[in-house]
Structure 1
Amino acid sequence: MQDLSPLTQQSLLSEPVEAGVVRLTLNRPEARNALSRDLLKQLHEEIERLGQEKNVGAIVLGAAGNVFSSGHDLKELTAHRADADGGEAFFRETMTACSAMMRAIVACPKPVIAAVEGRATAAGCQLVATCDLAVAADTADFATPGVNIGLFCSTPMVALSRNVARKQAMEMLLLGEPISAADALAYGLVNRVVSRGDVMAEALGMARTIAAKSKSTVAIGKQAFYRQAEMPLEEAYAYASEVMVKNMMAADANEGICAFIEKRKPEWKDK
């Protein structure tokens, strides 16, 4: 792959694993991988960069240490209470930056898979919910505990409520208690639960499967999935039908269908 050298910044690592698969690692274990403003910026920029890399087919997002992410960096936020405005401008900028990063993951044409070895709380849980797929260790847990410290998890609520049923989302938000990986699987927050130590291998396996497919087709499908989900039924079918027609006209659709009929492996052009 081209132009995929690891980042030099310590708080986010980026490395190509093999053809088509890139691994990102939140690398602030000493701070429980809290999403500082700097880390939010790095993650946003790297997701956007990889989204434009024609040779990338899938991204796996993991974390160093025993915690996937504890959410926003509360120490960083609290330090700005000494600002002239009590921190209001910094708080607003941070929430805007976090929301923009989450939207970048959704908008990224490459599927992003969360590999969760440990606890994911608040904006860390939001990050898991925002990723297209998620694999968790059987010892991992998830929480939106802001209500316990007087700061309701309002922005994590956006991703959470779009991935799990309302009653489960409200339970997590109102009780602020952690749920197990098994419950996260039952709620629909994660796709698979495996033994601790097998998470990255499982996530990379999923990434390999995706990366072997037509990248243009996957990009079309990901964009359409999120767009139709917000539409009324009739509008969603009209939109999805138009997407299918345009997809049918693509070179890879023609190649894939012909390969299926001829019982051979398709040769993707990614267009």
Structure 2
Amino acid sequence: MEFLSFRQTEDIAYVTLENPMEFNTLTMQLLQELDTLLKKIGAEREVKVVVIEGSEKVFCAGHSLREIESKTENEVLQLFQTCQLLMRTMREIPQLVISKVRKAAVAAGAQLVAASDMAIASDEAKFATPGINSGLFCSTPAVFLSRNIGRKKAVELLFTGNFMSAEEGLQHGLVNKVVPAELLDEETEKLAKQVTKQSLNIIELGKRQFYQQINMEDFQALNYATEVIALNSKHPDAQEGIRAFFEKRPPVWQDTKNTVL
């Protein structure tokens, strides 16, 4: 991998964007590398959380305008389709994906944060979708941004190109938590470990259920959720978890590589 680095700490995978000379822009190569790596992590089932992080100077500056300008229309379409596939991979792998944002997340960088299952930011982080300033409206970042924050704030960001602070991001629902920059590593690991104590099988089931139901009509969603929870109740990890609750002991989850979902 030329533009990514990977490390694993117990049940947490850390994936770092490593293209600082280009402000971690989502070039075609970086997108392909990240998609391939996430698919591999998902298939191997050795971790329960994936943390995506940037550099000390920037989380991600979005797509490379230089790359977009140099490509034909069909090549640009392929670039954005590759980004779309990455977003789908993030959604479909069994692990929860957390964006760890130390500095700026701009355009498709903000999209990456919005598409993650959770996000944590330092108090030095900021977010923007400034494509309109260059005549290239942030159409694709708008999709996940508008599904994270309120409509009025999304429109403000998309049509002014202004930055939103980390605290505003927290207020409007783009991130879960804002912490001092010097505590970002520690607090990210703490958040991740609140998930890794769970069964990966049930994380996978719950993640799938959550995103399936979220855009359904209320009682359509409830009907779907009713079927899922009945199936969930007979999963070996659910049965172990219920026994552990009554026996007042920590549960011992099934080998996550041998899922029965």
With 210-219 and 121-130 compared, the bigger mean Cα shift is at: 210-219
The one-letter code matched in structure 1 to 2:22 is A
2:33 & 2:2 partners in 1: Cα distance?
10
The equivalent residue for 2:51 is: 60
2:164 & 2:31 partners in 1: Cα distance?
25
By how many angstroms is 1:75 displaced?
Answer: 1.1
- Taking structure 1 as the reference length, the TM-score comes to 0.92
**Equivalent runs, 1:145-164 vs 2, <5 Å:** 145-164=130-149
The one-letter code matched in structure 2 to 1:15 is R
1:148 & 1:266 partners in 2: Cα distance?
53
1:24 aligns with 2:7: no
DSSP 3-state at the match of 1:197 = helix
Counting aligned pairs with the same residue, the percent is: 39
1:36 & 1:192 partners in 2: Cα distance?
28
1:13 & 1:210 partners in 2: Cα distance?
23
The one-letter code matched in structure 1 to 2:38 is I
Q: 2:26 aligns with which of 35, 38, 43?
A: 35
The equivalent residue for 1:12 is: 4
Number of aligned positions between the proteins = 256
The equivalent residue for 1:172 is: 157
1:121 aligns with 2:103: no
Residue deviations 1:198-227, cap 9 Å, x none?
222211222222112111011100111111
**Equivalent runs, 1:94-243 vs 2, <5 Å:** 94-243=79-228
| Residues 117, 197 of structure 1: 8 Å contact kept | no
DSSP 3-state at the match of 2:181 = coil
The equivalent residue for 1:83 is: none
The equivalent residue for 1:6 is: none
| Residues 62, 200 of structure 1: 8 Å contact kept | no
The one-letter code matched in structure 1 to 2:202 is T
With 64-73 and 124-133 compared, the bigger mean Cα shift is at: 64-73
2:175 & 2:15 partners in 1: Cα distance?
18
| Residues 217, 252 of structure 1: 8 Å contact kept | yes
- Taking structure 2 as the reference length, the TM-score comes to 0.96
The one-letter code matched in structure 1 to 2:199 is S
The one-letter code matched in structure 2 to 1:207 is A
With 29-38 and 46-55 compared, the bigger mean Cα shift is at: 46-55
2:227 & 2:44 partners in 1: Cα distance?
26
Residue deviations 1:116-169, cap 9 Å, x none?
000000000000000101010101100001111111100001110111111111
| Residues 58, 112 of structure 1: 8 Å contact kept | yes
By how many angstroms is 1:29 displaced?
Answer: 0.9
DSSP 3-state at the match of 1:56 = coil
1:26 & 1:54 partners in 2: Cα distance?
22
RMSD: 1.0
Q: 2:237 aligns with which of 252, 266, 269?
A: 252
